[in-house]
């Protein structure tokens, strides 16, 4: 296969609309619990994900050939971190990131929600939105493309017809 020549993705988000763009790029990212870190002194939340490269989805239109890449994601100005539905005894677990959302500002904080499959969530209370996403490696080939519920339903309908 030919050498990949994709520039690394580098994104910055400072408002709700820009978070929506980050969320689209991180959808179906695989996140090991062991890669999550919150530094209380610097107030920075970081994690390393194995993200699906949605931006390169149609690079090989006649083949089932896609890309994944390791990416770093950070959120600054974090005052509090809350987790929901996590089993802290099983740190080897890998989470599937579904989406990132932001609440409207309330009092002095905004809340950024990282929503995962299995009804898991990380909530970050921030003074202001400042998120970064950056690829830290070269993309690699994969034949697996994430499939979403509506695609599974369409596939079942085709089989029934």
159 vs 79: which has the higher pLDDT: 79
Contacts of 150 (CB under 8 A, 6+ apart): none
Domain ranges, ordered by start, for the chain: 10-160
Give the angle 11-47-67 at the CA atoms, nearest 5°: 60
Give the angle 68-130-138 at the CA atoms, nearest 5°: 20
Percent with pLDDT over 70 in the chain: 86
Structure tokens at 155: 């596939």
pLDDT tens string 107-130: 889 999 999 998 999 999 999 999
Q: Report pLDDT for 92.
A: 61
Residue 39 and residue 86 in contact, taking contact as beta carbons nearer than 8 Å: no
């Amino acid at each position: 296969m030919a050498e990949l020549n994709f520039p690394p993705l580098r994104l910055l988000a400072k408002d709700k609309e820009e978070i929506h763009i980050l969320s689209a790029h991180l959808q179906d990212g695989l996140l090991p619990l062991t890669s999550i870190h919150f530094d209380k002194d610097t107030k920075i939340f970081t994690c390393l994900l194995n993200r699906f490269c949605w931006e390169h989805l149609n690079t090989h239109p006649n083949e089932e050939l896609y890309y994944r890449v390791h990416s770093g994601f950070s959120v600054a100005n974090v005052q509090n971190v809350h987790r929901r539905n996590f089993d802290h005894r099983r740190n080897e677990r890998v989470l599937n990131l579904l989406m990132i959302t932001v609440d409207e500002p309330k009092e002095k904080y905004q809340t950024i929600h990282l929503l995962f499959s299995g009804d898991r969530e990380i909530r970050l209370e921030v003074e202001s939105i400042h998120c970064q996403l950056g690829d830290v490696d070269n993309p690699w080939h994969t034949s697996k493309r994430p499939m979403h519920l509506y695609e599974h339903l369409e596939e079942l309908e085709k089989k029934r017809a």
